[in-house]
Structure 1
Amino acid sequence: MTTSNRLLSLDAFRGLTVAAMILVNNPGSWAHIYPPLEHAEWNGCTPTDLVFPFFLFIVGVAIAFAYGNKKENEAEHAQLIIRAFKRGLILFFLGFFLALFPAFDFSTVRILGVLQRIGIVFFLCALLFIKTSSKTQLWVFAFILLLYWALMTLVPVPGVGAPNLAKETNLAAWVDRLIITEAHVWKSAKTWDPEGLLSTLPAIGTGILGMLAGTWIKRKDKNESEKTAWLFFAGFSISILGQIWGLAFPINKSLWTSSYVLYAGGLAMLVFASLYWIIDIQGHKKWTKPFVAYGVNAITVFFMSAIIVKIMSRIKLDLQGEEVGLQTWLYKTLFTPWLSDLNASLAWALAFVLFWLLILWPMYKRNIIIKV
């Protein structure tokens, strides 16, 4: 598929999002980060907490564009589902490989993670899109959010007691410990996983919201202005509804609460509507090229950037009598001598984003798209 055949605003949105992922995942020092570039401690939502749901929303929009016309032929459904399953499986195992690399210690490897969740959400959303109508998808979306709310707030937690939303004693954490086990959850948490099993359920809802937005944009019985206006209205209303629900069921990324799905999904819809109007309707496209370069190879750059960081941590160099990894050596040699701690940390992250753009740009110019 060439760039000209793609929805440019979607590629730009995806590129902005994955560039933001790389930015927030790669500070020069985790001890020195500007607050907007950190995740909320627990409840609440920072700009960084919007990055992952924005990407899952984009996955949903892309499904609507990739399968929208093909699903009409029921004879092709089995083949479409098999392809979607294979792609989801590839994404899952790319994430699993990242968790294993470079130690390849299967006894403590984290089983779930960002790419794994993307793979799961992609396949289940694609399956739902291929086999059901938009109306059914909307009902499934509502059912998922209500079911998750009921599970997290009404079901007692075995071994703990009353339902709660605390870090280690909520139902999702209990499910992670029961099925994944503590040996295979996120090492920073040790007893639960922010991309755990139960919280993947509402994450599917984020993908469905993207599918509904994509289906709406593809409609041929509405003009572009009307489609954009209604997308803005829906995004604003959904985000407000999320904030209202958050008063009772707090907005929380680690738990991927139902209110968080609505709040972050509504904001994603607003950003998508804005980009669609500016880029695809008004035709202001030139500024998008760096982001499109990121967007058409989003998974590739996310995967390879994580690999490079892990490799750099294994390359040891001497720094004033101390053995440090290559990344630390570069950071302390090139950035910290002339910048404050916060600005040096941010400068490293920005430089890392620009470094990958230098690789992605010639790929984009030559229309090299690595499909996953």
Structure 2
Amino acid sequence: MKTPTQPNVDSSSTQMPDPSQPLQGKKERLLSLDALRGFDMLLISGGGTFLVLLKGKTGLGAIDWIADQLTHPAWDGFTFYDFIFPLFLFMAGVSLVYSLSKGQSMGLEKNSLYRKAFRRMLILICLGILFKNAPIPFFEPSQIRLGSVLGRIGLASFVSTLLFLNFNAVQRLGWAIGILVAYYAALFLIPVPGYGAGDLSFEGNLVGWFDRTFLPGRLLQGTYDELGLLTQFPAMCLTLFGTLAGDLLIRSLSERQKIKWLTTAGVIGIGIGLVWNMHFPINKHLWSSSFVMLTAGMAFIFLMVFYTIIDVWKIRKWAFFFQVIGLNSLTIYYAYSFINFNYTSRKLFFGLYSPLPEEWHRVFEAFGALVLVWLFLYILYRKKIFIKV
């Protein structure tokens, strides 16, 4: 991808980007975003399972540490696996900027963009319900889980569309910080019947009480659902932060400035998250404000690294593996649930690894499934089949 030259921009400037500056109507894909999305999806489409199964088998402490990072903490705390979904929400915001800016450059009115975002939200909510409940218990609606990853992405993208089209970057930052502070205040100040205010335990938190009281259907954790109602608010802030990153990348700034501001935003976000953690613990299940700030900061840093290597330094061959996955992220998310790649891997490759000790069989079965997943996506890539909503 060629980066537009900006002869009038002083790359050494330390001024904050002007939010009123017009966006570029770039048509090229941001290759680093596709690769980062593929890296993220790899961990939930077989790559994470393969690494977890290696734990305790290699004798290497580094492998065991990585495996531990690919499981969720029971409650408070943080592992890298907690970062996967927040990173995807963040990237949805980055993509949104490119999509909406392209629509505006084509002369589409706001109402048209609103309708498109609303339809997309409804489709993702329906796909999410199907994904979380298949086979759907049609005759037992109380067993249908309404919260879903796809639904959350759809809702966050719709709200971010409304805010992007009506507020500049600084104002959207204000919205995000305001939501996170309000959420923080709500969990500490609103009393929960039987537990009081400020109880962040599994049983007594406000999020759980709200879901039990107002969210119909099955709750994932029984007493609450981490993809339920109240947690929608802090989660959508990640997509709002993503629109800020998209703003930086699409504006008439030098590459050096873009890298500098992505890095600065990342360091500030991580710092705020760690400081906030001292009173509001980092907790993915509650989508605590400290958790959102930490993962937003990490997302800025990851985007900066991928952008620098792929789009600025033009070192791209290594990224192709991830781009194949990232260009069909919805496809593999769904396919891995409805297609038994492990079964096919065992059928095809068991003869190769059967002589090995039995404890290694599942490891190589998972690795074979990962290979099949990538080949499946590569065929779609070669055929130029990209399924999107």
Whether 2:143 is the aligned partner of 1:112: answer: no
Correspondence for 1:135: 170
Q: Judging changes above 3 Å, is the alpha-carbon distance between structure 1 residues 175 and 190 closer, same or farther for their aligned structure 2 residues?
A: same
Correspondence for 1:36: 69
Q: Judging changes above 3 Å, is the alpha-carbon distance between structure 1 residues 122 and 350 closer, same or farther for their aligned structure 2 residues?
A: farther
Shift of 1:22: 2.0
Q: Judging changes above 3 Å, is the alpha-carbon distance between structure 1 residues 121 and 215 closer, same or farther for their aligned structure 2 residues?
A: same
Q: Judging changes above 3 Å, is the alpha-carbon distance between structure 1 residues 260 and 82 closer, same or farther for their aligned structure 2 residues?
A: same
Deviations 1:157-192 (A, max 9, x none): 1232232111121000011111124x4111xx2111
Whose helix proportion is higher, 1 or 2? Answer: 1
Q: Distance in 2 between matches of 1:74 and 1:170?
A: 47
Q: Distance in 2 between matches of 1:67 and 1:237?
A: 27
Q: Can you give the 5+ residue segments of structure 1 that lack an aligned partner in the other structure?
A: 313-325
Shift of 1:259: 0.5
Q: Judging changes above 3 Å, is the alpha-carbon distance between structure 1 residues 151 and 74 closer, same or farther for their aligned structure 2 residues?
A: farther
Percentage of pairs with the same residue: 33
Q: Judging changes above 3 Å, is the alpha-carbon distance between structure 1 residues 53 and 347 closer, same or farther for their aligned structure 2 residues?
A: farther
| Contact 1:24/1:37 (<8 A) preserved | no
Whether 2:91 is the aligned partner of 1:68: answer: no
Paired letter, 1:164: D
TM-score norm. by structure 1 comes to 0.86
Q: Judging changes above 3 Å, is the alpha-carbon distance between structure 1 residues 230 and 75 closer, same or farther for their aligned structure 2 residues?
A: closer
| Contact 2:129/2:146 (<8 A) preserved | yes
Structure 2 counterparts to residues 176-325 of structure 1, below 5 A: 176-181=211-216, 183-186=217-220, 189-220=221-252, 222-309=253-340
Paired letter, 2:231: S
360-369 or 19-28: bigger deviation: 19-28
Q: Distance in 2 between matches of 1:194 and 1:297?
A: 26
| Contact 2:52/2:68 (<8 A) preserved | no
Shift of 1:306: 1.2
| Contact 1:28/1:328 (<8 A) preserved | no
Paired letter, 2:264: F
Deviations 1:120-172 (A, max 9, x none): 11111122112221121111011011011001112111232232111121000
| Contact 1:114/1:195 (<8 A) preserved | yes
Q: Judging changes above 3 Å, is the alpha-carbon distance between structure 1 residues 161 and 345 closer, same or farther for their aligned structure 2 residues?
A: farther
Structure 2 counterparts to residues 339-354 of structure 1, below 5 A: 341=359, 345-354=362-371
| Contact 1:28/1:344 (<8 A) preserved | no
Q: Distance in 2 between matches of 1:76 and 1:264?
A: 33
Q: Distance in 2 between matches of 1:235 and 1:349?
A: 34
TM-score norm. by structure 2 comes to 0.82
Paired letter, 1:351: G
Q: Distance in 2 between matches of 1:177 and 1:304?
A: 32
Correspondence for 1:12: 35
Q: Can you give the 5+ residue segments of structure 2 that lack an aligned partner in the other structure?
A: 1-26, 56-63
Give the total of aligned pairs: 350
The CA RMSD over aligned residues, in Å, is: 2.8
Deviations 1:210-256 (A, max 9, x none): 11011011110x21012112211210121111111111111111111
Paired letter, 2:254: N
| Contact 1:24/1:48 (<8 A) preserved | no
Shift of 1:330: 6.9
Q: Distance in 1 between matches of 2:345 and 2:281?
A: 37
Correspondence for 1:171: 206
Q: Distance in 1 between matches of 2:362 and 2:69?
A: 14
Paired letter, 1:67: L
Q: Secondary structure at the match of 2:280?
A: coil
Q: Secondary structure at the match of 1:283?
A: coil
Q: Distance in 2 between matches of 1:338 and 1:179?
A: 53
Correspondence for 1:338: 356
Paired letter, 2:227: E
